[in-house]
Amino acid sequence: MCCWNWRMSKFRDLTGQVFGHLTVLGVWSRNRSGQPLRRCRCVCGKEIEVVLKSLTRGETKSCGCSNNCAATQFVPTHGQSRKINGKPTPTYGSWCCMRSRCKPNSDKSHLYFERGISICERWNKFENFLEDMGFRPSSDHTLDRIDVNGNYCPENCRWATSKEQGQNRRSPTGLEIEIRALRKKLAAYELKFGLIDADN
Phi, psi angles (nearest 5°) of residue 184: -65, -40
Q: What percent of the chain lies above the pLDDT cut of 70?
A: 65
The mean pLDDT value for 27-51 works out to: 82
Cα distances (Å, whole numbers) of residue 138 to 15, 21, 143, 148: 25, 25, 11, 22
The mean pLDDT value for 37-56 works out to: 84
Who's near 182: CB < 8 A, 6+ residues apart? none
For residues 94 and 160, state if they share a domain: yes
pTM: 0.46
Q: What pLDDT sits at residue 184?
A: 66
For residues 35 and 107, state if they share a domain: no
**Does residue 8 surpass a pLDDT of 90?**
no
Residue where a domain terminates, one of 19, 39, 72: 72
Question: Distance (Å, rounded) from C-alpha 55 to C-alpha 23?
Answer: 10
Q: What pLDDT sits at residue 73?
A: 34
40 within 8 A of 28, measured Cβ to Cβ: no
Give residue 61's domain range. 2-72
**Does residue 199 surpass a pLDDT of 80?**
no
Reading phi first (left if > 0) and then psi (alpha if -120 to 50, else beta), residue 187 is in: alpha
- The answer to whether residue 97 sits within a structural domain is yes
101 within 8 A of 112, measured Cβ to Cβ: yes
Give bridge partners of residue 26 from the DSSP assignment: 39
Q: Name which residue leads in pLDDT, 178 or 125.
A: 125
Of 169, 115, 120, which Cα lies nearest the Cα of 144? 169
Q: Name which residue leads in pLDDT, 172 or 88.
A: 88
Give the pLDDT band of residue 138 (cuts 50, 70, 90). Answer: confident
153-192 pLDDT, tens per residue? 999 999 998 888 777 655 555 555 566 667 666 666 655 6
- The answer to whether residue 172 sits within a structural domain is no
Please state which of the ranges 20-24, 125-129, 160-164, 190-194 shows the lowest mean pLDDT: 190-194
What is the DSSP code (8-state) at residue 119?
A: B
For residues 34 and 98, state if they share a domain: no
- Could you tell me where the beta strands, DSSP code E, fall in 124-166? 141-145, 157-161
Give the pLDDT band of residue 4 (cuts 50, 70, 90). Answer: very low
Q: How many domains does the chain have?
A: 2
113 within 8 A of 102, measured Cβ to Cβ: yes
Q: What pLDDT sits at residue 176?
A: 55
For residues 98 and 36, state if they share a domain: no
